[in-house]
A = this chain, B = another copy of it.
Amino acid sequence: MEKILVAQSGGPTSAINATLAGVINYAKRNNFEIIGGLYGISGILNRNFIDLSKKIKNDCDLETLKITPSSALGSCRYKLNNSDLEKILQIFKEENIKYFIYIGGNDSMDTVDKLSEYFLENNEDIYCIGAPKTIDNDLVLTDHTPGFGSAAKFVADSIYKVARDIDVYDYKTITIVEIMGRESGFLTASAMIPKFITNMGADFIILSEDIFDYNKLKKLIDKTFEKKPNILIAVSEGIKYEDGTYVSEDKTKVDNFGHTKIEQVGTKLKEMLLKDYNLPIRSIELSILQRASIQSKVDIEESFSIGEFAAKSVVNCNTSKMVSIERLSDDPYEVKLNLVDVSKVANKVKKVEKKFIENDYNLNKKFLNYLLPLIQGEPEIQYKNGLPVYFDLK
C-alpha cells in the first residue's frame, strides 16, 4: 500500500478539517495508507505522525470531522530552511511516504513549493500538492479559498445581529466592528451582505485596500445621522492612511517576522470619533470566532471536494501544484477544480479588486454576486449536552 501524508498549517478555519476529511475519504476508498502529521511541517520534522486510517473508523467519524472547526491535526507557523529539506526527505524515505498534501495558506504553499522542487531536483519519486485554506481569501490564481465562505457567513451573520441589536434604541450611537484582514479586505467586505439582503447592516465598510480618510468618514456619518440614529461601521484590522501607514500601527512593537504590530484599530477609531461625537460609541472585535464558528455548507462541501481532488491529483503524480477553484457561473453557482503551479501562489497576496469598491466606503452589487453563493447553506451539526459534537484527532 502506498502512503499519503497530510498535514495542516497556518491559522485555523471552520472548513480546514473538511479538506482533511476529503483527503482521508479518497485515500481510504482507493486503498492508500493515510497518515497525518501533527503540528504541520514542524511536527513532521519531529516524526509526529498518527495513523488516520485507524482514527477515522467509519463514515460517521468522517462526517463529524468534516464539520469540526480548527485544525484537527494541529498547526504551526514555520519557514523551512535548507537543512530541513534534506531532513524531511530522509524522514519521508524512512517512513515510506510517497505523497504529501499540505493544507494551508501562502506560507504553506511556499513550503509545498520548496519541498516539491527539492524532490524534483533530486529525482525522488515523492509528490507534493497544496490544498488552499484561509479565511482571508488572499490567495491568487483561485476564485476564492476554502474557509473564506464560512468566515464570510459568520461576519455577515454577526453584522446582521449587531445591526439589529443597536437598532433597539432611538437615540444616536456609533458602533464599530473590527474584522480580520491585514492586507486583504475580503472578510471585512462580507459585512456588506446584510444591508443588501435585509436593509439592516453596516453603513460603511472600510477595507485594507481603501485609503482611510477620517474627514471623509465624518462627512458620511453626519449625512447618515440625518436619516437614522444608529451607525454601524465595519473596518479591516489593516486599514491604512494615504501614506501607507496603518491606522492602528504601534511602531514600538515589531513581531518575529519583522511586521509592525497592528492592534485594536476599532478602539483607535472609537477614540478618534469620541473627540467629535459626544455619543455612546462602541468597538467590537470579532476576533477568533471568525475562523472557528459558523459554517457555510457550500464552503464545507467544496473544501471536502478539494481534499479529494488533492489526493487524487497527488497519487496521479502531480507535484508542485495547488488545487484552485475556477468559477463557471454565479447563478446557478458552479465551480470546477484545477491545478495551478504552487510557485505562482506562494508568498503572493490577492486584494479586493477596485471594480468591487465604491467611493463611499461600500461595496457594489458585483461583489455581492461574487460573495453570496459562498455563504449558502448550513451544515447539519449534532449536539450533545447543549454543545456541538466535534471530532478529536490529537
Residues of A participating in the B interface, judged by any CB pair closer than 8 Å: 8, 12, 38-39, 43, 68-71, 74-77, 153, 156-158, 160-162, 164-170, 175, 193-194, 197-198, 264, 267, 282, 284-285, 287-289, 291-293, 296, 372, 375-378, 383-388, 390, 394
Q: A157-B388, A387-B198 are in contact. Are A164 and B70 (CB under 8 A)?
A: yes
- Contact: A70 with B165, CB < 8 Å? yes
A-B contact pairs, 7 of them (CB 8 A): A12-B165, A70-B165, A75-B168, A76-B170, A161-B289, A282-B287, A376-B385
Nearest B residue to A373 by beta-carbon distance?
Answer: B386
Complexed CA–CA distance, A226 and B282 (Å): 38
- Which residues of chain B are near A394, meaning CB under 8 Å? 167
Nearest B residue to A197 by beta-carbon distance?
Answer: B385
How many copies of the polypeptide does the oligomer hold? 2
Nearest B residue to A46 by beta-carbon distance?
Answer: B170
Q: Looking at A71, A153, A289, which has the most chain B CB atoms within 10 Å of its CB?
A: A289
- Which residues of chain B are near A76, meaning CB under 8 Å? 169-170
- Which residues of chain B are near A385, meaning CB under 8 Å? 193, 197, 372, 376
Q: A376-B386, A387-B194 are in contact. Are A169 and B289 (CB under 8 A)?
A: no
- Contact: B70 with A153, CB < 8 Å? no
- Contact: B387 with A289, CB < 8 Å? no
Complexed CA–CA distance, A160 and B267 (Å): 26
- Contact: B12 with A156, CB < 8 Å? no
Complexed CA–CA distance, A287 and B177 (Å): 10
Which of B43, B267, B296, B387 is A197 in contact with, Cβ under 8 Å?
A: B387
- Contact: A289 with B158, CB < 8 Å? yes
How many whole Å from A264's CB to the nearest CB in chain B? 8
- Contact: B288 with A285, CB < 8 Å? no
Beyond the given A193-B386, A197-B385, could you list 12 further A-B residue pairs with CB under 8 A, ordered by the A residue number? A12-B165, A12-B168, A69-B165, A74-B167, A76-B170, A160-B388, A162-B288, A162-B292, A165-B288, A166-B288, A285-B285, A376-B386
- Which residues of chain B are near A161, meaning CB under 8 Å? 69-70, 288-289, 292-293
- Contact: A288 with B284, CB < 8 Å? yes
- Contact: B387 with A383, CB < 8 Å? no
Nearest B residue to A374 by beta-carbon distance?
Answer: B386
- Which residues of chain B are near A166, meaning CB under 8 Å? 288
- Contact: A162 with B289, CB < 8 Å? yes
- Contact: B287 with A284, CB < 8 Å? yes
- Which residues of chain B are near A153, meaning CB under 8 Å? 386
- Which residues of chain B are near A69, meaning CB under 8 Å? 161, 164-165
- Which residues of chain B are near A387, meaning CB under 8 Å? 156-157, 160, 193-194, 197-198
